[in-house]
Amino acid sequence: MSPSIVKAAEQTQSAFIWPARHQAGAGPDPGLPPMGARFRLKASFNVAGFCASSAPYCKDAKVVLTETQHYGLILADNGHQLVLSGPSGSVNVMATMVTFHAHPDDECIACGGVIRKAAEEGHRVVLVVATRGEHGEVPEGFLTDGEELWQRRVAETQASAEILGAHRVEFLGYTDSGMMGTPANTAPGSFWTAPVDDAAKKLAAILEEECADVLTCYDDIGGYGHPDHIQVHRVGMRAAELAGTPRVYQNTMNRDHMMRGMAAFAEQAAAAGLDVPDLGEAEDWGKPESVVTAAVDVSPYLEHKRRAMRAHASQISEASFFLAMPEEGFRYAFGTEWFIRDGQGPGITETDLLAGL
């Protein structure tokens, strides 16, 4: 990053010169920040004035005002983006994370903590969901007359995304494939039957548009063997390859941590009248601790994670195991989010998905 650019931005708090100097077709200027760089600028930055004065070089510009009152400006110039936001009083690098999930509600259960953490730290978060969860179970009378389940679940996803701080939500348009071995697996349009490259190209287009630094998907068994979750792994890994996304984290469940917790909290669960899920063969769930490479402490964001779960009321009721869990148990189960990144390890070598970006 050019020191002169940083100094000018800090001192003038006005026009940022990069888009005006980097005209379409011009060669790279060594005095300019690299393509895809993202910055935070002072709150007094004149976003509207800048867009007006730089209109020829500010194609498809859009302004974002988050709940933390950070101004964000995304400038698209020949396919590249620059983000300016504040009010830190200085210029700081900002990253973009795309988090890819199978169904509505997966985002808050699996990655709600890292989504909120990234958003609070000033990064951009994009939520992509493969299906609209058409085959979820819903209590009789829960939906209004004429309302389809997918409509409710889309609305719940938008509400969850707002709680977690995601800036954009996209659905790839596939149909929920149901549980493994059911007729829904092979239904036309199901995510499970989609050619991996076709679905990956849809996701890669979003990764490229967002200049994504990080993608989260699932491990190779989809956490617990659900066909759509397995497909999220296949499609996510291929999309990152197509788009050249530098970091890919496979969300997983730490099997050893989970088994320790079930043993430790068995008495509390029984006393609270909770039905503890039967994990069956443990090898079908999560990954052994030895292959997990990233553990992110998300305990400061557990209230947001719980609120996001509540937003998915069609699938996660107050009486559900998740929400009825005692506070201590909830913190143990959801206070750390686990990932695998190829090339890392052995053991836990990362505690922040966006470190160094």
Compute the half-sphere exposure of residue 200: CA atoms within 13 Å on the CB side of its CA. 17
**pLDDT bracket for residue 35 (50, 70, 90):** very low
In the chain, where the domains are located: 3-24+33-93, 97-340
More confident: 294 or 89: 294
Instruction: From 55, 14, 25, 92, select the one nearest 83 (Cα to Cα).
Output: 92
Residue linked to tokens 């695998």: 340
* Interatomic CA distance for residues 308 and 164, integer angstroms: 7
Lowest average pLDDT, out of 128-137, 150-159, 207-216, 264-273, goes to 264-273
- 257: CB partners within 8 A, 6+ apart: 289, 336, 338
Strand extents, DSSP E, 24-102: 38-40, 59-65, 71-77, 80-85, 92-93, 96-101
Which of 65-79, 159-173, 251-265: highest mean pLDDT? 159-173
* Rg, C-alpha atoms of the chain: 22
H/E stretch holding 337 reads strand 336-340
- 331: CB partners within 8 A, 6+ apart: 299, 302
Instruction: From 36, 123, 39, select the one nearest 80 (Cα to Cα).
Output: 36
More confident: 20 or 95: 95
Domain 97-340 has CATH 1.10.645.10: no
Torsion of CA 170, 174, 175, 178, to 10 degrees: -90
Token digits of residue 271: 């006393």
Whether pLDDT at 109 is above 50: yes
Q: What number of other Cβ atoms are within 10 A of residue 151's Cβ?
A: 13
Q: What is the pTM of this model?
A: 0.77
**pLDDT bracket for residue 213 (50, 70, 90):** very high
H/E stretch holding 267 reads helix 266-271
- 312: CB partners within 8 A, 6+ apart: 104, 105, 108, 153, 156, 157, 160
Average pLDDT over residues 121-136: 94
Which of 4-13, 67-76, 114-123, 297-306: highest mean pLDDT? 297-306
* Interatomic CA distance for residues 327 and 332, integer angstroms: 9
Residue 282's identity, in one-letter code, is: A
